[in-house]
Chains A and B, each alone.
Chain A
């Protein structure tokens, strides 16, 4: 399915007019995007490193996950909204950018993995799960979010 029409629509929207006309606003929104990525990355990483027994090994995993999951949600909201604003400034260019596509696929995978696999799976009693499955979930989560962050950074270089 060709999504060019969607990018063309965003490119001519009021949001795009704002993001293209005011470089300062764009830069501030970009800062929020980066800040939210830091929050998202930190919360995901603390949870995943706990599942790998690397940090906070003496705090029950479900306590760590319960505390971090809420903040992942907050960070995702800021990341997505600020991301849409930033995207509107260069929508057509991004349509043809492979790193942007890679980031979007990664983001979709990351959000789906978080809400439909990691969260429901780890909300059950961990003693019912094989320690290896828990570790695989944590490694997969780190790799997915690493790909999102890395491809996001490389959009700027391409």
Chain B
């Protein structure tokens, strides 16, 4: 019982770390630091999965934890890092004139998701149910990141962080979805990642830039 309590508290801490990382992702303007935080998110996600695996009776969660660590903590960040290095954009800085505004919106989103999740949390008897509000918030924050960023790479990291947040939701709220769905979703993310890579090289060769605003302006001019 004492151990259970301890793990629950550890999950709470992991949840608040997820929230913190979501904010950190929003606040960074250097590409490489965004990537570092993204990798950290993957690692926290893997740890959370492991913790949930310890208190639930779903053995496949151990497998999920290992896969998460490998894919989201290491492989995807590494692939993105390689792209960034190859295209010499690691020094690029994203201009963010309205950081405080973004942060205020982000805080508002956390409040909204708290409001949304409160009645839902009340009916669950799972030990991890109180993480649902934070999971919802991280989904919203990932979206905010996708909307406010102008560089293709940061948009992709936003997309992948939404994916992380959804995984976190599934882990926290329901101790994970059934295996077949998890595998299907993972497969879709993998395809999406391949398409991202394709687009990057394409954009690089056609526009010599990964800035979406620039690309849209060029597309209009032609």
Partners in one complex: no
Residues of B within 8 A of A (CB): none
